[in-house]
Structure 1
Amino acid sequence: MYEQIFEALKERILHHKYKVGDRVPSEKELCDEFGVSRITSKKALEMLAAEQLIIRQPGRGSFVADGSGEPVQKIVPQPAGRGRKNKLLIGLVITTFSDMYGTELIYGMEEASRERDSFLVIRRSFGIPEQEDRMIQELLELGVDGLIIFPVQGEFFSAEILKLVIEKFPFVLIDRYLKGIPASSVITDNIKAAREGTEHLLSLGHRNIAFLTQPPANTTAIEERIEGILEVYAEAGIPASRELWYESLLSSLPNVFDPQARRRDVDHLVEHLKSHPEITALFAAEYHIAMLAVEAAEQLKLRIPEDLSLICFDSSESVEHCEITHMRQDQFQMGKKAFEMVVDMQKGETAVQRIQLPASLVTGNSTETVRK
């Protein structure tokens, strides 16, 4: 639906129904016109802004951009440095970002761009494969000298990423890697991080631990976290009860815009916890999923950490005021290292490599010794 709204508004702009400077319908007006949710209409407007067809001004609305009412003309690729006084331009394609995950990545890249006297251009794919391909194409047409890509979760490799490999264009994958693809990447040591989180729960006496995640297939970060958890159980001689796990949560995926998805995930977790009262601890693949677990526990009147201990990856909370025990990834260094790598690759100074950075356990108030 958001794509249909995007195409409808784009056509109105191209046919001058909305002229330069005109305000386009608001999120609420689009909800009423197309019978969709606010999230769907917001997504359509974000896509128009990404295409540079509109300018969004907080508190005022969205307005048609470009003097002719046509899309901004694509810039012809230029040799590196032309018109930029030999300063490199690096493009970032990321699914999305928030305080929970992603913002610190960008902070790290921005600092590295200043240290390397370069520039960073950001585009979001929203977890949509076609959008990812288009963003890569447009950044290449803009004339970027290198790319950093947070790849979309999916069953197949991106055609545009494969082209980058074939053409030996300098790029670095971040947060995850693509199996079988000879591309540089900067990731967290997810196996070690998952091991440390699991060992923390086992040290508190927990044995019936449920891992909560989105579908892990073809997402190396999740697959490696599962591997780390299973390794710890095997070494401790404790059976890993996978039936206690829930691996079908969808609302945290960046390409899910259904406002009811969160409610469905919470309902599923409520039923899962009812079906497995033996669960004493939850290990969430990310902070958003941990918040779903908190809501489900509240509905069942289960207390955290008295009845359920909870640990997750990442958090929007500061270390000093941490409530949720979590594995904190070093996002800043991941972003900084990725930018430095792609600059070095552009200069021919770095071969394909995979960098793994450690995560650190931050103990909050959500875990305690299991009660008999």
Structure 2
Amino acid sequence: METHLYKQLYMHIVHEIQQGKLKTGDRVSSEKELAEQFGVSRITSKKALEKLAEAGVIKRIQGKGSFVANGHTSGLELMRQSEERTSAAIRVQERHLIGLIIPSFSDEYGLKLLHAMEKQSALHECDLIIKRTGGSKEEEEHAIQLFVSLGVKGLIVTPVHGEHYNAELIRVVLGKFPVVLVDRYLKGIPVCSVYTDNRKAAQDLTLHLIGKGHQNIAYLSPPVENTSALEDRLLGYTLAFTREGLKLNQDYCLTNITGTRSGSWAGDLETLKSFLGQNTDVKAFVVSEYLVATMLAQAIDAQGKKLENYDIVCFDSLNDFLGKPIFTHIQQDEKRMGEEAVELLISQLYGEAVTEQRIVEHRMIVKE
């Protein structure tokens, strides 16, 4: 089993006492000092000190700090007893359940996010349970109700796309149930959220194409209404034109691609083929999702046109068989997003104040 973070701090103080660096009555480092010294959260350092107090190794005095207790056992006996007490506490302690509700996950986006959440949850002795909604609001609502009934202590949610917020999600948020949103935020509703700066990212992609000499640049996306990530990506695209003093052709904005939600791409393929036929001057595309970019590539090929004559940029992407990116794309820092989401949720469980929005930096990966 991987050593828990708080146990490392716990044993550090035990070693300090064992080696005589700390003696009876000496002050022990505070929660803040330990957190800064070891690069951990205040939650972790607080738990280490609480466990030391429970074991009788230190005495905590409110308003003054923590001190090495009188009559403690020294040397190897202290080490042995402390390790036994810590191991016993870990075995008997109830492990909290955390629920993750997500539309889906795949190699291009989601798997690294999931792995990071699982690892970070384990470090806090929490078990992460997962429910995929497939983009269905009904499934999302059912998942929230199910997880709450199972006794989860908090929820991490990537809300499904749609015109309206899920009433069940709003209910738990307004009810002060610990919730963290990932890759989304809810406008006008105070809820902790971790996400990429989608506006800036889409602007970066569009400016990249403008920098390559393109002015007729189309934008492809599923419907954007009430989906913060997609709304911000569309806004970033339009702001790039404003910044460069270029005219934006609204006819080049296609936000009716529904295949990523319905699973059926036949209608989208015809829509894209029709657009390509009617707008032969458009050779560059900003695409909000990787799967839509692959469908565009199929539409280009289906019309007998060469893909290398087009510049396609998108969010998230896979590599080809040589390990090179298929498209120039925005790479979201899924690992950090997952870690941040769990840390913010744990902070809420301990009653700590958390920032409402946490933006994680992105990178643009340019296809050679």
* TM-score range for the pair, normalised by the shorter chain length: 0.7 to 0.9
**2:194 is matched by which residue type in structure 1?**
V
Pick from 192, 205, 209 the counterpart of residue 217 of structure 2. Answer: 209
Pick from 278, 302, 307 the counterpart of residue 305 of structure 2. Answer: 302
Instruction: Check the 8 A contact 1:182/1:352 in 2, yes or no.
Output: no
2:347 and 2:221 mapped to 1: Cα distance? Answer: 35
Q: CA deviation at 1:84?
A: 6.8
1:122 and 1:234 mapped to 2: Cα distance? Answer: 42
Which residue in 2 is equivalent to 1:312? Answer: 314
**1:358 is matched by which residue type in structure 2?**
E
Q: CA deviation at 1:117?
A: 2.1
Counterparts in 2 of 1:129-208, with a 5 A limit?
129-208=137-216
Pick from 98, 102, 112 the counterpart of residue 94 of structure 1. Answer: 102
SS at the partner of 1:136? helix
RMSD: 1.8
Summarize deviations over 1:89-109 as a string: whole Å, max 9, x none: 110011111112211110110
Count residues with an aligned counterpart. 278
Summarize deviations over 1:6-43 as a string: whole Å, max 9, x none: xxxxxxxxxxxxxxxxxxxxxxxxxxxxxxxxxxxxxx
Which residue in 2 is equivalent to 1:104? Answer: 112
Q: CA deviation at 1:197?
A: 0.6
1:285 and 1:302 mapped to 2: Cα distance? Answer: 22
Q: CA deviation at 1:156?
A: 2.1
More contact order relative to length (CA 8 Å, sep ≥ 6): 1
SS at the partner of 1:252? helix
**2:317 is matched by which residue type in structure 1?**
S
2:205 and 2:124 mapped to 1: Cα distance? Answer: 36
**1:230 is matched by which residue type in structure 2?**
T
Pick from 233, 236, 250 the counterpart of residue 242 of structure 1. Answer: 250
Instruction: Check the 8 A contact 1:341/1:350 in 2, yes or no.
Output: no
Judged with a 3 Å threshold, the aligned counterparts in structure 2 of structure 1 residues 340 and 293 are, in CA distance, closer, same or farther, namely same
Give identity over the alignment, percent. 34
Which residue in 1 is equivalent to 2:46? Answer: none
Q: Which runs of 5+ in 1 are unaligned?
A: 1-80, 366-372
- 1:358 equivalenced with 2:361 (yes/no): yes
Summarize deviations over 1:109-133 as a string: whole Å, max 9, x none: 0121122221100011111112111
Instruction: Check the 8 A contact 2:317/2:326 in 1, yes or no.
Output: no
2:132 and 2:361 mapped to 1: Cα distance? Answer: 26
SS at the partner of 2:299? helix
TM-score (norm. length: structure 2): 0.72
Which residue in 2 is equivalent to 1:114? Answer: 122
Judged with a 3 Å threshold, the aligned counterparts in structure 2 of structure 1 residues 352 and 157 are, in CA distance, closer, same or farther, namely farther
TM-score (norm. length: structure 1): 0.72
Q: CA deviation at 1:164?
A: 1.2
- Higher alpha-carbon Rg: 2
- 1:224 equivalenced with 2:253 (yes/no): no
Counterparts in 2 of 1:275-286, with a 5 A limit?
275-286=278-289
**1:155 is matched by which residue type in structure 2?**
E
Q: CA deviation at 1:170?
A: 0.6
2:92 and 2:267 mapped to 1: Cα distance? Answer: 50
**2:204 is matched by which residue type in structure 1?**
E
Which residue in 2 is equivalent to 1:342? Answer: 345
Instruction: Check the 8 A contact 2:318/2:326 in 1, yes or no.
Output: no
Q: Which runs of 5+ in 2 are unaligned?
A: 1-88
Which residue in 1 is equivalent to 2:274? Answer: 271
SS at the partner of 1:311? strand
Q: CA deviation at 1:352?
A: 4.7
Instruction: Check the 8 A contact 1:183/1:352 in 2, yes or no.
Output: no
Q: CA deviation at 1:86?
A: 3.2
**1:287 is matched by which residue type in structure 2?**
Y
The structure with the greater share of residues assigned to helix is 2
Instruction: Check the 8 A contact 1:89/1:145 in 2, yes or no.
Output: yes
Which residue in 1 is equivalent to 2:10? Answer: none
